[in-house]
Structures are given as C-alpha cells and as structure tokens.
Chain A
Amino acid sequence: MIDPGALPVDPLPQPERGPIDERKLWQRFPKKVWVGLVIVTIYVLIALFAPLIATHDPLAIDPVNKLASPSSEHLLGTDELGRDAFSRVVYAARVDLPIGFLGAVFPMLVGTLLGALAGFYGRWVDTVVMRTADVVQAFPAYILVIVLVFALGPGARSILVAFTVLAWVVYARIIRGEILRVRDLDYVHAARVAGLGKLRILRVHVMPNAISQTLIYLPNDIVFATLALAAFSFLGLGIPPPTPEWGAMIADGQLYIRTNWWLATVPGLVIVVLGLGISLIGEGLEETLHR
C-alpha cells in the first residue's frame, strides 16, 4: 500500500551535484612541477645576483695562474686564461638563461600567430603558411644558422633570429592542429550561432582551449634552445668570447678533459640540471592539462 504522505506532489527536481575540484592551487599540480620550479628559480636567482655570488671578475685574465686546480680561492680553479671558472659559470647564467628562454618564446609567438591564422581562417592563408613551413623545415638547420651568423655577425641577436626563423614551424603546426580540433566543437558552434564575431571567437573560445599543447611543448623547447645555444657556441657560431657561456666553456674545456676535467664537466652538469628542472615543469603541466 502506498503511504500518501510519503509521496511528494510533483517535486521540483533538485539538480544533481557534479564533481567539484576543490583542491587548493598547490595541490592541483603534481609535485614534480614544484621541484622543477625550485630548480629554475635557483638558476634565475643565480643569474640575477651573479655579482654577489661570483667570487671574481669573470673576464679578468691571469695567465700566470692558468689551469689551476680548485682551491679555496678559486672554487672551480681557473681556465686556460687564468679566469676564475666558478665566476664564469655563474655569470654564464646571464647569457644562457635569457637566450634559452627567448630562443623558445620568440618562435612560439611567431609560430603560434601564423599557425593560428592558418588554422582559423583556413584556405589560402593556411596554404601560404603551411607551405612556407614546409620549405623552412626542408632547409638544413645548421646551414641556415651559419648563413645568418655570417650575415648578421655573431652574438645574441643572430642566434635569436636564427632560432626564430627555424623553430616557429613546430609551434605553427601544434596550434593549427589544435585549432582545427577546437573549431569543430559545439561551444564554438554555439558562439557562431550567438552571432559573436570571428575575432572574438578566436580570442575567447578557440585560443584558450587550443593553447595547452603549446604550453606543454614550450618548456621542452626552452631546453632545446639552451642546448642548441651550447652546441652553436661549441661550434663557434654562438656567443663570441670572452663572454662566459656554458656551451663555449664546454668547448674550451674539452681540451683539458684529462687534467682539468671539471672545466668542461661542470658547465655540462649545470645545463643538464637546468634542463631537468624545466622538463619537470613541462611534464607536470602536461599531466595536469591532460587530466
């Protein structure tokens, strides 16, 4: 028998509660992100406070004291021109960090802009951008760098121009792919049906949801750029002496690998640890964004 008192009359359906991500900001990212962030911050601080941390003038030559072993006065000894290796490693952060960072961010800005236009507007814009990308990619990278360095002279500017000209292609492809995916999602259709303008749709609805792959790739690319800078310096195409730069220090130090092995190894380790820190951030971002 039904108990009439138990039956609510036409109840107002109470909407269901969904899962709510109520964790604090610091809980939302995996631990590795914070470890990576700490590492990178330390490097940034070292670069910022280089004059306070370094023990000597990194450019000060002391040929009498060349290739000294590590001591209390020279923490990492001296290089082949008697310059304090420790101070050079520290000051090199002021070169490698910005160039590594900008060497990824500039291509990102250019590539993302071009790729977004290609993906969103399509047709001939797409064709022009993508075929240009194909041509650039087909070029042997090192030849292009050599040409640019010869044309513009060695230094940070040529390196950054070279990176931008070469590396924008990947970003363009990434964002284009994502935009093609997002463009067809219902909320973009809804924005069109609502009569929103194309530019607004691109800015508010498409880009924020297409950019995650780019952000995941960026830390990796910073590592690549740092390593590329080191490689170019190693080949003599990068930052010219006497400016301290980790890659150049590895190149110079390799001659003395049997006697003063730390001259090449320490800058190398420094690059590796920085790369590790950045990679941890990148991986952690990827895990968070892919959940």
Chain B
Amino acid sequence: MSDRILEVSNLSVTLPRAGGMITPVEGVSLTLDRGEVLGIAGESGCGKSLTLKSIIGLLPKDAVTAGELKFALGREEPIPYEATDVRGHGISLIPQEPMTALNPTMRVGDLIAEGPRVHRGLDRAAAQDETIELMRQVGIPNPERRARMWPHQLSGGLRQRVMIATALSTQPKLILCDEPTTALDVSIQDQILGLLQDIRIRLETAIVFVSHDLAVLGELCDRMAIMYAGQIVETGPVEQVFTDPQHPYTEALMRSVPSFGATTEKLAGIEGAPPDPGSFPMGCRFAPRCRYVRDDCRTTEFELMPIATGRQTACIHPELVGGGSS
C-alpha cells in the first residue's frame, strides 16, 4: 500500500476567451502523500484556483484539460479517475467564501449530513449523530442548537467550520483548500489553521492549500509550489523555499510582504504586472519583471528542473537569486 495519494502530471487547462483560446494553467505537476500538506502560492490570475478545480472536476464546461490526474481511490496506487468518482468519496473542497458557499435554503445540520447520507448511505438518525460529532470536532460550540440554524445566522468563522465539517463528512483522503481563510479575521484564521493542522495529524488527511499569503502557507504546509502565469516556478520544503528561494519571483514575493519581524526595510514590490494569458512571452514568463534577467532567459524553453532532493526551480540562473547557494 503506497503512501502516495495524488499525482498530477503535466496538467494544462485551456479556456475559450474572446474569440480565441488561452491556457491559464500549463504543465503543472504535483504529487501528494498521505497526511502531507502541499501549499500552492501565487497572486491573482496565476492559475492556482483553476489547478485546484481541475483536481476535483469543477472547471467550466468549455474548459479543455490535458495531462494526467491520478488519485488513490482505494488503498492502491493512484489511478486516473472521473471527477464524479472522487467527489464525496475521497476528495473534498473548502472554497474561499464562506458567505456564499453554503446553501442558504438548507439548515446547517442538513448540509453537513448530506454527504454521509448520499455517499455513504447512512440513515437519517446515524447521519444526524455523525453531524453533531463532526461539528464538535471542528470546534462549533453548542452543536445541537447550531445544527438547526441557517447559514445566514452564523458568523464567517462558524460558516467556515461548517464547510470544514461538510468536507470531513465524506471521510476524504484529500482536502482541497482554496484560500479558505482569506476572507476571515486574523484571530479566526488562526483558529481555522489550528483546526486544519489538527485534522491532518489526527486523520492523516492530505491537504492542498492554495493561498496568496505566504506566511499562512508557512504555518501549515510541509511543501510549497510557487505559481506564476500558469506555471509552477519553484517547489520545495517550505522552510527552504522561504529562507533560500531559488526563483526570482519567489524572492520578489517575499520582499513585497511586510513581514511581522522586519521593521524598517523598505518593501520592494514588483515592477510591471503578470502577463495576460492571451499573450504569454517566449521563454521565462517572469523575465520582463525580473531583476536578474539575462538574455538567455527569454529564449530558453521553460522547464521545471530538480536542483536538489525535493527541490525544483524553473529559473536557469538560480545562483543569482539572493546570493543563496544553488
């Protein structure tokens, strides 16, 4: 029995737009083992949400995907799958906006119970018991009373806990998190992250956590993938990526964030803007904004290359980045 849960190989997503086709996700490859948390970091438009949606088959109808998606449905090796096989059976999704992700016409308890009843065939009473237990586990106080409430009666933090309970109700091996704490207050975010950490340790659930907030990713993830303009540009263990980035974009991102520790160092920001998916440049897509750019950056074909165990970068001159060792 392998520990490998998910394998994404060379995933590309193509969408029609304004009379043409764009490829906002290109050549993305990921692997995930049981109990592991993989972070995908990037700014808006980099393709991280679409990548997540591809895994669970929630892309728009006119989207065309290429590449391979494999998931370990049973206890065997990961195998190719249909979205309908895994939804509710092995993969769950926690979306970004707790305000709109819950059906406003269903009571919260019914929402959570839906999964077990539909996918695991539990009867009403058993599902109800499990719902209360799940709500308790995710830290919802007074679950019996809360289960009968409507989503609009709950705060953002509680709604997100309900989402997590719903995600857990199908006993998934993999939870996909699409910026689940971005819309929450800092103190609530802190609680939710603690909850997710607890879940992954206790239940050995694998998590893919998408966020633009590097510090949040640092708290929860074991490994990170940095995305830019539809491609993964760097991967590695989270501490290494932070302390020794091997891609100029990663470094530039770190220097843009007012970190809690640093005080007077002036924030850098990044000149320019990400390229429009309709007109990606040749070679490295970050080259137009890169402070270390060389001539061959624009002509060399993009490739995510291993540079150490578990470390990859798409930069052909990683030695220039921050003075770190390659």
Contacts and interface: CB of A to CB of B under 8 A. Distances in A.
Chain A interface residue bracket vs B = 10 to 19
B306 to A, nearest CB: 22
B7 to A, nearest CB: 35
A10 B319 CA distance: 22
Interface stretch (A13-21, A130-138, A144-152): A13-21
Contact of A6 (B273, B276, B292, B322): B292
Nearest to A6: B292
A14 B320 contact: no
B269 A1 contact: no
B310 interface: no
A67 to B, nearest CB: 54
Nearest to B293: A6
B294 to A, nearest CB: 8
A14 B273 CA distance: 9
A2 interface: yes
B272 interface: yes
B320 A6 contact: yes
Chain B interface residue bracket vs A = 10 to 19
A73 interface: no
B271 interface: yes
Given A2-B322, A3-B292, A6-B291, A14 B276 contact: no
Interface string A139-183: 000000000000000000000000000000000000000000000
A11 interface: yes
A17 B271 contact: no
A3 B273 CA distance: 24
A7 interface: yes
A242 interface: no
B323 A16 contact: no
Contacts of B320: 1-3, 6
A17 B288 CA distance: 13
Interface in B271-313: 271-273, 276, 291-293
A13 B269 contact: yes
Contact of A7 (B272, B276, B291): B291
A11 B276 CA distance: 23
Nearest to B325: A1
Given A3-B292, A6-B292, A8-B291, A14 B271 contact: yes
Given A11-B271, A13-B269, A1 B276 contact: no
Contacts of B292: 3, 6
Given A6-B292, A7-B291, A1 B271 contact: no
B272 A19 contact: no
A16 B322 contact: no
Nearest to A1: B323
Contacts of A14: 271-272
Query: By CB atoms of chain B within 10 A, which of A6, A10, A17, A19 has the most?
Result: A6
Interface of A: 1-3, 6-8, 10-11, 13-14, 16-19
Interface of B: 266, 269, 271-273, 276, 291-293, 319-320, 322-323
Given A2-B320, A13-B271, 5 more contacts: A1-B320, A2-B322, A8-B291, A16-B272, A17-B272
